[in-house]
Structure 1
Amino acid sequence: MSSSATAAALYAATISSASVTGAQPEDAKDKIHHLKDGKGFINPWESWRNMSGPAIMKAMIWRRYKGLANSPDTTPPTVTVRKPDFLPSRDTPILRATWLGHACYFVEFPQGFRVLFDPVFSERCSPFTWLGPKRYTEVPCQIEDIPTVDAVVISHNHYDHMDHPTIMKIKAKHPNVQFFVPLGNKKWFAESGIHEGVTELDWWEERDMNLSPAASKPAVSSTDVAASSAGEKSQSILARIGCLPCQHTSARTAFDKGVSLWASWSVESGGRKVYFGGDTGYRAVPELPKGVDDYGPEHSYPHCPAFKQIGDLRGPFDLGLIPIGAYDPRYIMSPMHANPFDSVNIFMDTKCRRAMGIHWGTWVLTEEDALEPPQLLKKALAKSDMPETGVFDVCDIGESREFK
């Protein structure tokens, strides 16, 4: 058995049974994102515009019929894919993040905590293996290649973010893994046969996770990060995981839109803090003439206030993993998908020191060209008087970056 496999086998997780009381907005207790009948969730901001699935599909088909739609060229080469180089053990002094395609990032924290965000390793992001968006870039590795996964954090239940075959492989390879999901998603895990190790959270809730050297079964305790670190700082691996708002929606079928919650997340361990944007919009933009800048001085559309609240109350963050793709056509996608100009604003609102772009380079979900998101990101950074590199970057699939 390798040293990394031994380390994984010797650690058992303890999740706090009570929510950690972190800073939150005054109106958080009002749960304004909950439907009054208790049967789902909404985006409670003026920056949101609701558009049903059938309406989106109809609009996209109409654009194609009228010859207005762009068909992205995915002929290789597009995004470079390389084999990841994971650290062989938990012993690392630095924050390290590896892009595994689309919204999936594997983050290695100082002092040993390992977390996987929105893992999807299947060929298609679809309920079917034979139909639906197919990868135009290969997966850089397999689940079996990742030495240690302590936690899996899921932003929402869309198929490009929560994938049944991938989840089951992770559970088989890493049986002590802990899953963190927004409200309403624990039922899906139970129906998939995963009855333990799933923590379901609402916006602004947090939980503490303590990894202790033990071969025992994961248990539930009220121990928090501060108390644990005093007695076991030389042995335990400590993490705080927080569920935060974002502007999106959810659905696994045509009949369950908004039944489960969507979220962005914060993860803190080893003295470093990461913000995971998952999948989100920033503002709802109406249909405008082609070429018109919706950030121009003549346009002023409400933007989602949650990101500034996150920055003010939970920031700053050492690293933000922020979506930059799946945004065109803008008038259809803007309520739920950020374009790079939105992404830079989310980056600034959340007070991230550095960021990496996610949610692009893997499947054709919308009409922008495959390599347009990073190109547009540079323009957005320049417009905000920020360097084009070194602050908010992109990388190859499978590439790791270190953040001091």
Structure 2
Amino acid sequence: MATYSTTVTPPAEPASMPKDGADKIHHVLNGGRLTGFKNPYPSWGTSHGPWEVFGAIFWPMLSGELKFPDTSPPTVPVVKPHFLASRTASDKLRATWLGHACYYVEFASGLRALFDPVFEDRCAPVSFMGPKRYTPKPCDIADLPLVDAVFISHSHYDHLSHGSVLEVQKHHPRAHFFVGKGLESWFRKTGIENVTELDWWEDAELKLTLDKTDKVEGEGSGGDAPAEISARISCTPCQHTSARSLSDRDTTLWCSWGVKSGGKSVWFGGDTGYRRVPKVPKGADDYGPEYEALPHCPQFKQIGDLRGPFDLGLIPIGAYHPRAAFSAMHANPFDSVEIFRDTKCARAMGIHWGTWALTMEEVLEPPRLLRDALKRRGIPETGAFDVCDIGESVEF
């Protein structure tokens, strides 16, 4: 087991933030006390009640207009992942997709980061019902050689798993968890003490002090670990919601994350919408002229301007159909390409697809639409914003 010490401190020089971030317009106050959070922009819309969901999803299902997607194999290929042998085994940024929104990123600095780990068969409060994996997990948490930092985007069960975070703590007890404001108490009640919560636009400095023989078994080769590894952590906005029960909706913050270490940077989008789209006629292009004036979330451009550019973006592309029900909180590939451009990512990989059928689009539609969205923007269909097999590693 790796032996090292971890410290998390406020940055020596705080980064700038937009005025609306400084004004905390996403906070919900009751008598001056913070009681929850909200999406503060018109791109979220106003009504997200049960009747709207019924009209957009359940009635079309009853009428036969909407059908559950076919998840029978073959769908997304799953390969056995291979990880680096030591912290010094590569001079590149290396990212491995572990399904849905979970990525394991090996920085050239030696930092090892894990994003939204959920390794259960079902993403639900109970193990016997709820969305079930249609692609197997590529490995177990015990197979990850090192985990220094874990980033949680929000509290939904497909992004935060009680069992998985306990497994991370069991096999990687020195791992430090970074969570949105309000979630720290949940982790401490779970028995995890290495946790830091941040609000949008807050930053932290992570520092690892290592011994000289901090190596792990695996592929590749490398020498002694560096004496110290540092990273700049940025909690950045997104447009979403949170809940783990019927009584805690939006009481904890949803967020994206920026991580910079050793001259390389990653932006993790987690789970987010970009623009709320009303119900449109079947076959209509909701990015066509009739809908181009729909408001979009301005925070992604703020992220690119104030925390970017990034070498790699991990950007959601799935769980979006029907658009009238899900567009405010889930990006489709056309939204994803706009987020990619706004956040100033040099490269990107698609996440939030290929694992659980959370919505009604065909399970292999997101990468097809992604190519169309890139083509529309004049971006090469490969080599800029890509997808990969589950378990596959890509270097940047």
In 2, Cα distance between the equivalents of 1:174 and 1:384?
Answer: 42
Letter of the structure 1 residue corresponding to residue 340 of structure 2: F
Q: 1:57 to 1:331 in 2, by over 3 A?
A: closer
- Describe the SS at the equivalent of 2:366: helix
Report whether the alignment pairs 1:208 with 2:210: no
- Percent sequence identity over aligned pairs: 59
In 2, Cα distance between the equivalents of 1:133 and 1:234?
Answer: 42
Letter of the structure 2 residue corresponding to residue 212 of structure 1: T
In 1, Cα distance between the equivalents of 2:280 and 2:139?
Answer: 41
TM-superposed deviation, 1:89: 0.9
Q: 1:383 is matched with which residue?
A: 376
* 8 Å CA contact 1:19, 1:205 repeated in 2: no
CA deviation map 1:59-91 (0-9, x unaligned) = 422221111112211110000000000111111
CA deviation map 1:119-138 (0-9, x unaligned) = 00000000000010000000
TM-superposed deviation, 1:49: 2.1
Q: 1:139 is matched with which residue?
A: 137
* 8 Å CA contact 2:211, 2:227 repeated in 1: no
In 2, Cα distance between the equivalents of 1:366 and 1:139?
Answer: 20
Q: How does 1:16-27 map to 2 (within 5 A)?
A: 16-17=9-10, 21-27=14-20
Report whether the alignment pairs 1:292 with 2:284: yes
In 2, Cα distance between the equivalents of 1:197 and 1:21?
Answer: 22
In 1, Cα distance between the equivalents of 2:360 and 2:389?
Answer: 21
In 2, Cα distance between the equivalents of 1:323 and 1:174?
Answer: 27
- Describe the SS at the equivalent of 1:344: helix
Q: 1:225 is matched with which residue?
A: none
- Describe the SS at the equivalent of 2:346: coil
Q: 1:39 is matched with which residue?
A: 35
Ranges in structure 2 where 5+ consecutive residues have no aligned partner: 213-224
Letter of the structure 1 residue corresponding to residue 146 of structure 2: T
Q: How does 1:38-187 map to 2 (within 5 A)?
A: 38-52=34-48, 54-55=50-51, 57-59=53-55, 60-91=57-88, 92-187=90-185
In 1, Cα distance between the equivalents of 2:74 and 2:13?
Answer: 46
Q: 1:331 is matched with which residue?
A: 324
Q: 1:222 is matched with which residue?
A: none
TM-superposed deviation, 1:19: 7.8
Q: 2:233 is matched with which residue?
A: 241
Q: 1:57 to 1:134 in 2, by over 3 A?
A: farther
- Find the partner of 1:373 among 366, 377, 387: 366
Report whether the alignment pairs 1:260 with 2:257: no
Ranges in structure 1 where 5+ consecutive residues have no aligned partner: 216-232
In 2, Cα distance between the equivalents of 1:241 and 1:56?
Answer: 37
CA deviation map 1:109-158 (0-9, x unaligned) = 01200000000000000000001000000000000000000000000000
- Describe the SS at the equivalent of 1:370: coil
Q: 1:75 to 1:182 in 2, by over 3 A?
A: same
* 8 Å CA contact 1:53, 1:254 repeated in 2: no
Of residues 29-38 and 320-329 in structure 1, the stretch that sits farther from structure 2 once superposed is 29-38
In 1, Cα distance between the equivalents of 2:177 and 2:51?
Answer: 33
Of residues 53-62 and 266-275 in structure 1, the stretch that sits farther from structure 2 once superposed is 53-62
In 2, Cα distance between the equivalents of 1:147 and 1:45?
Answer: 41
Q: 1:268 to 1:55 in 2, by over 3 A?
A: farther
TM-superposed deviation, 1:17: 4.7
* 8 Å CA contact 1:266, 1:274 repeated in 2: yes
- Describe the SS at the equivalent of 1:62: helix
- Find the partner of 1:274 among 250, 266, 272: 266
In 2, Cα distance between the equivalents of 1:87 and 1:161?
Answer: 25
TM-superposed deviation, 1:20: 5.3
Letter of the structure 1 residue corresponding to residue 105 of structure 2: V
Letter of the structure 1 residue corresponding to residue 328 of structure 2: P
TM-superposed deviation, 1:107: 0.3
TM-superposed deviation, 1:53: 6.3
CA deviation map 1:148-180 (0-9, x unaligned) = 000000000000000000000000000011000
In 1, Cα distance between the equivalents of 2:51 and 2:393?
Answer: 39
* 8 Å CA contact 2:272, 2:316 repeated in 1: yes
Q: 1:202 to 1:306 in 2, by over 3 A?
A: same
Alignment TM-score, normalising by the size of structure 1: 0.91
CA deviation map 1:207-255 (0-9, x unaligned) = 001100259xxxxxxxxxxxxxxxxx95101111110000000000112
In 1, Cα distance between the equivalents of 2:52 and 2:141?
Answer: 34
Q: 1:139 to 1:19 in 2, by over 3 A?
A: farther
Aligned CA-pair RMSD: 1.5
In 1, Cα distance between the equivalents of 2:180 and 2:226?
Answer: 32
Letter of the structure 2 residue corresponding to residue 270 of structure 1: G
- Describe the SS at the equivalent of 2:233: strand
Q: 1:20 to 1:42 in 2, by over 3 A?
A: farther
Q: 1:219 is matched with which residue?
A: none
- Describe the SS at the equivalent of 2:96: strand
TM-superposed deviation, 1:27: 2.8
* 8 Å CA contact 1:20, 1:208 repeated in 2: no
* 8 Å CA contact 1:341, 1:377 repeated in 2: yes
CA deviation map 1:314-352 (0-9, x unaligned) = 111000000000000001100000000000000000000
- Describe the SS at the equivalent of 1:292: coil
